[in-house]
A and B are shown apart, each in its own frame.
Chain A
Amino acid sequence: EPEVTQTPSHQVTQMGQEVILRCVPISNHLYFYWYRQILGQKVEFLVSFYNNEISEKSEIFDDQFSVERPDGSNFTLKIRSTKLEDSAMYFCASSGSGTQNEKLFFGSGTQLSVL
C-alpha cells in the first residue's frame, strides 16, 4: 500500500540553526500538509499546499517556516532559525483529488529536538 515517507526519523539541532524536514507524499496525491505535535499536546495543523502554493496556514506557521516542493516527489518544511519551542514531532500528510481529497494519509513523523 502506498505510504507517506518522512526523513529523517529523528533530527537533533542547535538553537538558531536551520533544519529541513523531508517528505515524499503518495505519488498521485495533489494536496500536502505539515502538522506537528509537541510532547503532551494535541496534533496541530501548520500548513497546506496545493498547486505549488500555500493554500492555508495556521498562526504557528510564521516567517521562520517555509515549505517547498523542489521536484515532483519531495515536499519539505524548512525552519530557518530553530527555537527550543520548535521541538516536536512533525508529521507530513497528503491527500488525493476529487472524492479522495478528504482522506489525509500521514507519515511516521520526524522527531525534532532543538537543544
Chain B
Amino acid sequence: GEDVEQSLFLSVREGDSSVINCTYTDSSSTYLYWYKQEPGAGLQLLTYIFSNMDMKQDQRLTVLLNKKDKHLSLRIADTQTGDSAIYFCAESISTGRRALTFGSGTRLQVQP
C-alpha cells in the first residue's frame, strides 16, 4: 500500500533556507502535494507537482521531485517566523482518484 514518510521536526534561523523532505513508496504517484497547517487552522495547499516534472518554483517555494528515489522536497527560501507551521507531504496515485495519502507532517520552527 501507499506510505509517505517525513522527518518530524526542523529548526532553522530566520533568513536561512529550509528544506523539508518526504519519501513515498508508490511509484504510480501522479501528483505530490505540500500542505501547511498553522495552529488551529486547516490544511492550506502550498503547491503541488505532477509526476512528470522534476522541479516547480513558486516565489519562495521550490519543489524537487526525484522519481527514481521516490523523494520529494520543499525548499523555502528566506524563511520567516510566519513560516513556522506543520508541513504535510501528500500523494495521489492516479488521475481521477483524490484519496490523498499524507505523511505525518514536519514541524518547522523558525528561530528569530
Please give the residue numbers on chain A whose beta carbons come within 8 Å of chain B beta carbons, in ascending order: 4, 6, 31, 33, 35, 41-45, 48, 56, 58, 91, 93, 95, 101-109
Contacts and interface: CB of A to CB of B under 8 A. Distances in A.
Contacts of A109: 42
Nearest to A58: B99
Interface stretch (B13-21, B43-51, B60-68): B43-51
Contacts of B45: 103-106
Nearest to A57: B99
Contacts of B103: 42
A58 B100 CA distance: 11
B48 to A, nearest CB: 7
Contacts of B4: 42
The size bracket of the interface on B is 20 to 34
Contacts of B88: 43
Task: Please report whether the interface of chain B is mostly helix, strand, loop or mixed according to DSSP.
Answer: strand
A95 B99 CA distance: 12
Interface string B33-47: 101000011111100
Contacts of A6: 42
B101 interface: yes
A36 to B, nearest CB: 11
Contacts of B92: 102
Contacts of A4: 42
Nearest to A106: B43
Nearest to B35: A106
B74 to A, nearest CB: 16
Given A43-B102, A102-B31, A102-B48, A56 B97 contact: yes
Contact of B98 (A33, A41, A107): A33
A4 B41 CA distance: 12
23 contacts: A31-B98, A33-B98, A41-B104, A42-B102, A42-B105, A43-B102, A44-B102, A45-B100, A48-B98, A56-B97, A58-B99, A91-B42, A91-B43, A95-B98, A102-B50, A104-B33, A104-B98, A106-B35, A106-B42, A106-B44, A108-B41, A108-B42, A109-B42
